[in-house]
Amino acid sequence: ETKKEGKNAARFFRPVMNSAAQTRLRLETRLREAVTCQGLTLHYQPQVDVSSGRLVGLEALARWTDPELGVVSPGEFIPLAEDTGLIVQLGAWVLDEACRQAAEWALRVPMAVNISPAQIVRPEFVETVSDTLERHKVAPHLLKLELTERLHIRDPQQAAHRLGCLRALGVTLSLDDFGAGQSAVASLMNLPLQEVKLDRTLLAGVTHDPASWQVLKALLALARGLSLPVVVEGVETPQQLDILRYLGCETVQGYMTGRPEQPTTLAERLWPSSAGHIRPSA
Ligand code: C2E
Ligand code: MG
Ligand code: MG
Ligand code: MG
């Protein structure tokens, strides 16, 4: 396996190297095809007002079922798309399709779309967003862009500038996954945000672990102190919902209040009288 073996090394090397690299390459090839040939779909998950139970928003989530590979989770293909640059094209499609759907539904609550740092740093991103809104005649305040903190960490000044341009368009900016991994409180202060989404890992222990409860409570207080509306993600049980209500949290998103669903399934459930395609009352 060392260089000393010279030419013969290839024989031993290749099959070993290939398995991992080849799997990845195959995934990348299939993903590239899915992105260019309309092979992706979107599911939508409700965001719900805790006190009234009303729908206050939807999050668009990318889905991929490959004919050969089967279902591949976003946790797998989004990072791959980010590493390979495919995220720019993928993200533009997601934005377009989510806006098209919002227009078809005549949605009156915001449609939230996840945006990767690699999309935002592209010089044409602001124009892509404004073109997409225009194409589908969606009002800017009905589009919410969910950003991750990785954006801020790489180039804080450029990030703040770009987000300022997006704000000027009138879209809403939300900081996703707050409280997961290395959260920088600085990004809450330095970026022009209108919302923060608390990561679902923060909820894991709240029903039995006093420390988890305190952390959640403190983060809710922090957001309140900064006048930032909060969405808590990953609410799965009635107990968790009770705690959030008690702590004064206003908006939740989780399996408890609605899983991500196909557009037709979701529309039938949310707006049963409209057969899924007539103006919803929400
Ligand atoms: P995210 O933006 O934080 O989206 C929320 C994730 O939590 C979704 O996972 C959703 O299905 C899941 N979730 C919601 N409620 C619950 C719950 O009660 N319990 C549990 N266990 N999970 C819940 P999903 O759809 O697998 O997506 C994972 C991540 O992939 C997303 O996290 C987002 O960061 C990324 N992603 C998905 N679609 C896109 C996209 O179109 N563009 C970009 N850039 N990223 C995307
Ligand atoms: Mg999100
Ligand atoms: Mg996210
Ligand atoms: Mg999140």
Write the ipTM: 0.98
In contact, 82 and 116? CB cutoff 8 Å: yes
Contact 207, 237 (CB under 8 A): yes
With the most atoms of ligand 1 within 8 angstroms of its CB, the residue from 58, 61, 80, 240 to mutate is 61
Residue 185: predicted pLDDT: 78
The two tokens of residue 168 are: 């000027």
- List, in sequence order, every residue forming a beta bridge with 230; answer none if it has no partner: 196
Please identify which residue in the block is written with the tokens 């707006």: 271
Residue nearest to atom 27 of ligand 1 (CA): 74
Reading the block at residue 149, the tokens are 């903190």
**What pLDDT does residue 182 have?**
65
Pairing, β 55-66 against β 70-72:
antiparallel
How many C-beta atoms lie closer than 10 Å to residue 236's C-beta?
14
- DSSP per position, 64-124: EEETTTEEE-HHHHHHHHHHHSTHHHHHHHHHHHHHHHHHHTT--SPEEEEE-HHHHTSTT
DSSP 3-state of 7: helix
Span 141-158, average pLDDT = 83
Confidence (pLDDT) at 188: 81
Mean pLDDT across 178-199: 84
pLDDT tens string 189-228: 888 999 999 999 999 899 899 999 999 999 999 999 999 9
- In the numeric block, which tokens belong to residue 98? 């989510």
CB of 255 within 6 A of ligand 1: the answer is yes
